[in-house]
């Protein structure tokens, strides 16, 4: 019997949590930091803004949002307790326990009331959920009218020869790096597999529009290997 996607993905992240940050920097050539910096600039978080960070992992984006908000309540949610434990250590080290709360939960069924947050974000997690449309609907539900839903995710380059080089790296070399450095081959083979059926940045932009977000925009990053999507919830939603 085939293992459900959700259970498999959970086991992947529980097992790679201790070396997740190091591997992220290694396999993205540290570009993920630049992508997050660009995202924060586009978000333009103001003092006191509230946010929910889904699939928050080890909480780098959660912390960046909290630093930008300064006084607003920020909640991070993830289904991996091991990832949350590492995130909590970072939060404790920065003394941000009063501002940031971490919750063990499911992005498909958010335990929050409607219209609660100024921002709802998801970083490198949308391709791992069982139903991305359901997650986007939940994000839309809990964000305030006029608030923003923000997704930063790996994507698919479209122009040659970069596209061929990228997929060679992504499909063949990246899992070997995972095997050599993190001693996790199968887990890092999942990363390219998770992208196979995931929409490219244009398709995902259309899904944002279909979900009902206004002013939906997409920004391909580093030749399209990642993409930022931002949608605004209508005032009447």
The 10s digit of each residue's pLDDT in 99-131 is: 999 999 999 999 999 999 999 999 999 999 999
- In this prediction, residue 2 carries a pLDDT of 44
Work out whether strand 74-78 and strand 51-54 pair parallel, antiparallel, or are unpaired. parallel
Work out whether strand 100-104 and strand 74-78 pair parallel, antiparallel, or are unpaired. parallel
- In this prediction, residue 137 carries a pLDDT of 98
- Does 1 have pLDDT greater than 60? no
Whole-structure pTM value: 0.91
The stretch 156-163 carries a mean pLDDT of 78
Could you give the CA distance from residue 48 to residue 2 in angstroms, rounded to a whole number? 46
Could you give the CA distance from residue 161 to residue 39 in angstroms, rounded to a whole number? 27
pLDDT band at 237 (very low <50, low <70, confident <90, very high): low
């Amino acid at each position: 019997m085939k293992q459900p996607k959700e259970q498999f993905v959970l086991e992947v992240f529980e097992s790679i949590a201790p070396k997740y940050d190091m591997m992220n920097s290694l396999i993205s050539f540290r570009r993920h930091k630049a992508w997050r910096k660009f995202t924060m600039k586009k978000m333009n978080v103001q003092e006191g803004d509230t946010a929910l960070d889904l699939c928050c992992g080890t909480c780098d984006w959660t912390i960046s949002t909290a630093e930008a908000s300064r006084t607003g309540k920020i909640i991070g949610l993830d289904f991996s307790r091991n990832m949350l434990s590492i995130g909590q250590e970072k939060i404790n080290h920065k003394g941000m326990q009063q501002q940031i709360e971490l919750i063990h939960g499911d992005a498909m069924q958010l335990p929050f009331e409607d219209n609660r947050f100024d921002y709802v974000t998801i970083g490198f997690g949308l391709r791992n959920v069982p139903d991305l449309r359901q997650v986007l609907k939940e994000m839309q539900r809990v964000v305030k009218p006029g608030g923003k839903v923000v997704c930063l995710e790996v994507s698919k380059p479209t122009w040659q020869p970069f596209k061929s080089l990228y997929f060679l790296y992504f499909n063949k070399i990246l899992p070997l790096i995972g095997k050599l450095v993190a001693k996790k081959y199968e887990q890092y083979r999942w990363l390219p597999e998770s992208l196979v059926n995931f929409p490219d940045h244009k398709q995902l932009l259309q899904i944002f529009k279909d979900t009902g977000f206004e002013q939906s925009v997409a920004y391909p990053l580093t030749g399209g290997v990642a993409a930022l999507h931002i949608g605004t919830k209508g005032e009447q939603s």
